[in-house]
Structure 1
Amino acid sequence: MKAIIQNEFGNENVLIYTDIERPKLESEEILIKFAYTSVNYADIKKRKGNKGKGKFPFVPGLDAAGIVEEVFPGSKFSIGERVIAFPTSGSYAEYGAAHESLVYRIPDSLSFEQAAAMPTVSILSSMLLHEIGQVKEADTIVIHSAAGGVGSMLVQLAKLFGIHQIIGTVGSLEKEDYVKSLGADIVCTYNQFSEEVLAKTNQQGATVIFDSVAGNITRKSLDCLRLYGTLVQFGNSSGEAGSFTTSDVHSSCRNIKGFSLGTTRKHQPERLAPVAARVIDLFASNKVKLPIAKQFDLSNASHAHKLMESRNYTGKILLKCSYE
């Protein structure tokens, strides 16, 4: 089968399009023929080696949509079913293996493009909003990187839930109209968001702030987080760690919570199934949608990574894995 592999860490040129063997199935795994896979920022970090030592070669990619090709005896899935999945063998490929607990059926009404765009960002966003952030309708929330994949989803889900005030941050106000079209009430740049949040909340600050950027954004977020508020950290796309002191939280009764979908997939995969069912229903009923910034053929994965790193896009970037 055709796939993208990495034999080393580096820039986008380390993504090699080549022929490899189909993955051999382990216990309770099923084989899926991928239609599309999405490009996530975690793919960029892994390509560069930010996760530390790597075991080469490997196939990048976190999630995909496709058709069940092979099952094990007693599986709850059947050959030919349409699914989304978090494959164990990587998703930048024509085929991939996934443990049954991380595979979810999708209805015929949901396109493979939308299905491929949703697994990581929609399941993560729903868990961040309701389980980790525990938002309430009366809250004022801040969503950093609001024009990205997770940000786009968080804004829509927050709007659907009826959040009182949604503030999104962006690198450039050229993305303001896009983020407001998703449901944000206010859009501001990283340079000014802290002052803007305080101004819009009568100097009280935001109730919940969702931060995937870290670095100095963590400090600025704490500057506009209200008493008893919650800062949710779920990434560091800036490439820098955010920092805080114990005095930032104890006297103000504020919380800092961390969350990783990758860690949860590995250690508590059962938590994902009910969330996946809810977001699949939202997509199938057109209550939410992820704009597709651009589609690339699998062979052009390096161009997809280059676009993502440019940040000159909105929504999700997809790779087309099969060509029938």
Structure 2
Amino acid sequence: MTMPVTNVSKDPQAMTMTIVADFPVPVRRLWDAYADPRQLEKFWGPVGWPATFTRHDMYPGGESQYYMTGPDGERPAAWFEFIAVTEGQSFEVLDGFSKEDGSRDLESPVMRMVFAFEETTEGSRLVHTTHFNSAAELEQILEMGMEEGTLSAMSQIDAVVADLQSFAAGQAVTTQLIGEHQVRLSRVIRGTLDEVWKAHHDPELLRRWQLGPEGWTMPVCEVGTAVGETYRYEWEREGGQDRFGFTGTVLEIEAPHRSVTTEAMIGQEETATTNELTLTPVDGGTLLSLLVTYPDAALRETILATGMADGMETSYARLESEVLSG
């Protein structure tokens, strides 16, 4: 097992534990491993306890929600709240446990963690400092196995950052099933955060790229840009055949990072999904993560079987080539 950790220090007076680890990759590569939930899942949990992130909003005020799955099926859950983010250099979060219903367990310890990324002659260094509320809490958390668990988790980072291809720009939409009725679709779009956000919320731009296969047009494009507003998109083949569309309501929106909407095919509103769109700057562009929650597993399977991911890939490729390239 590779162990990049070079130093662990505990200071009861300062109520901190600091872990220093070195990696033979550029700072940006290491940063992106923490910014991309697909990669973070591969090393956030200790060996044998893989993590699943159902939310990961890496911007000030953003949240992350995740659970780890133990060898016997246990699923302890936790959350982050991002206090500060300086892209490529550092981020700071509050870190706590979640209750079974997903809400924050504020009766358990809530720690403050700072992750600082530095360039070295050999690559990059991560300085991970956890701040506790008291010396007693530090001792309590250490007795729970936090140090061993963190070191076990970090032993997996080298393998993740060595993979230079799977998460790079230019890869097609990836699909990951989460739980029984969710799916996460991800892709790095070659464009800035603001450009990709605008392309998803400007009707003129949407009509140019969100078309799926060749031969379709978008005669109706009504965008919702505030909580409570509705949107309506309709497509048809050139010539006016096979018209269909989707409608929904904006539940949350925080430009240019995150939006949450409902979505239902027009005429089939009883099968509405909840779509959580998150945009995150990464090397080569902007990581788009779309978490879709379906009413049940059967509908998820039915929709994915229609070639949903392939249709999205066609549209995103058009977005890059016909909208963002110029």
Q: Normalising by structure 2, what TM-score?
A: 0.28
Higher relative contact order (CA 8 A, sep 6+): 1
Greater share of residues in strand: 2
Name which one, 1 or 2, has greater alpha-carbon Rg.
2
Q: Normalising by structure 1, what TM-score?
A: 0.28
Greater share of residues in helix: 1
